[in-house]
Amino acid sequence: MLAAPKDDHIARVVQQGARESASALSRLLRRPIAVGGFDIVDLHRLGRAHARVGVTLAFETSGGAPGHLAFVLDEAVAVRLVAGLTGAVDAELGTTALMALAEVGNIAASAFLNGAAAVVGRTCLPSVPRVSHAPVEQSVRAALPPGPVHVAALGIDGTDVITVAFVSA
């Protein structure tokens, strides 16, 4: 099925944004992060692609790429990220850990939107992050409006996956 011109433009924004996010996260985490798995899905399919419980880092975007951006991590992936950031062996997803993940999300969202800005030729800005540690289907429905969701997979060390999801306004 051929994508509509708007979908093709959004796909380029998401692809470039995901590459920039992967690069920034790779430097921050000092781990290789690969980009792949570009697709267009609905909210139900996005929620089903993850474990039952996860962490969603959600942003509203403005400027050249208005819409909604979310980074979705399975709970186990979030715990491993927090452990890697803090050096803790038994990391838990308490308030401090979720605040740390929000900062990781800020870095990833800013990098994503820098990549988007290169595609659209205009400044793109994120909102303050909203962090949800909840059932993934519930959190993605709260973070993203209905409609086509452009997604990319960020693979950490070839095993853990963070889904980048963008819905254009």
pLDDT at 154 over 90: yes
Q: What is the amino acid identity at position 6?
A: K
Domains of the chain and any CATH numbers: 5-168 (3.40.1550.10)
pLDDT tens for 5-53 read 467 889 999 999 999 999 999 999 999 999 988 999 999 999 999 999 9
Residue written as tokens 């996010």? 21
pLDDT digits (tens, 9 = 90+) for 81-128: 999 888 877 778 999 999 999 999 999 999 999 999 999 999 999 999
- Please give the pLDDT value at position 158: 78
